[in-house]
């Protein structure tokens, strides 16, 4: 009688048909794997469903976060536009103030120069009056304009 290990070798799974090999029971590896893994996949079906739900919830959360972010960006942009408009108004007011101060300073300088010129002209009037009076007196003594008696 054959020994037990030798006897059991007869029932070893055999590969696909092909060259001669050890004798054994033909094996359907795909069916064996499917039969062996079917309970595992059945147990994982609930987990896979929860994963799908988690992915869907993540997509919804991401869409909501994107919507909230877009609203926030819009609010920030609107606030920035209002602030920029206020800054433009302030800058225009400052520019006007600077221009008015510069114009006032130039006007004061022009008045000061006009006062100096006026004072200089008033100071020269006696000299010009004396020259004109001397010229007229000379014309009178000479007998009229051009020296004709």
What residue ranges do the domains of the chain occupy? Answer: 26-141
Residue appearing with tokens 């795909």: 30
- Single pTM value for the model: 0.42
- Tell me the per-residue pLDDT of 41-53, one tens digit each, with 9 for 90 and over: 888 888 999 999 9
DSSP H helices in 1-149: 4-9, 29-142
Q: What is the pLDDT of residue 142?
A: 85
pLDDT at residue 4, rounded to an integer: 65
Residue 26, φ and ψ in degrees, nearest 5: -60, 140
Mean pLDDT of the chain: 85
Is the pLDDT confidence value at 8 over 80?
no
* 79 has a pLDDT exceeding 70: yes
> SS3 string of 116-140?
HHHHHHHHHHHHHHHHHHHHHHHHH
**4 touches 11 (CB < 8 A):** no
CB contact at 8 A, 13 and 24: yes
Residues of the chain with pLDDT > 90, as a percent, come to 53
pLDDT at 91: 95
Checking if the pLDDT of 62 tops 70, the result is yes
Lowest mean pLDDT segment, chosen from 7-16, 97-106, 139-148: 7-16
Rounded Cα distance between 27 and 12, Å, is: 8
Would you state the structure tokens that stand for residue 46, as one six-digit string? Answer: 């609930």
CB-based contact 43:33 (threshold 8 Å): no
């Amino acid at each position: 009688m054959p020994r037990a290990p030798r006897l059991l070798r007869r029932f070893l799974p055999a590969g696909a048909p092909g060259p001669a090999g050890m004798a054994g029971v033909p094996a359907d590896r795909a069916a064996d794997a499917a039969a062996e893994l079917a309970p595992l996949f059945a147990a994982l079906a609930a987990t896979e469903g929860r994963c799908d739900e988690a992915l869907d919830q993540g997509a919804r959360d991401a869409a909501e976060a994107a919507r909230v972010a877009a609203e926030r960006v819009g609010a920030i942009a609107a606030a920035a536009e209002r602030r920029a408009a206020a800054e433009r108004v302030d800058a225009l007011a400052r520019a006007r103030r600077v221009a008015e101060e510069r114009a006032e300073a130039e006007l004061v300088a022009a008045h000061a120069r006009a006062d100096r010129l006026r004072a200089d002209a008033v100071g020269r009037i006696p000299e010009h009056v004396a020259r004109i009076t001397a010229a007229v007196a000379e014309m009178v003594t000479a007998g009229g304009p051009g020296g004709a008696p």
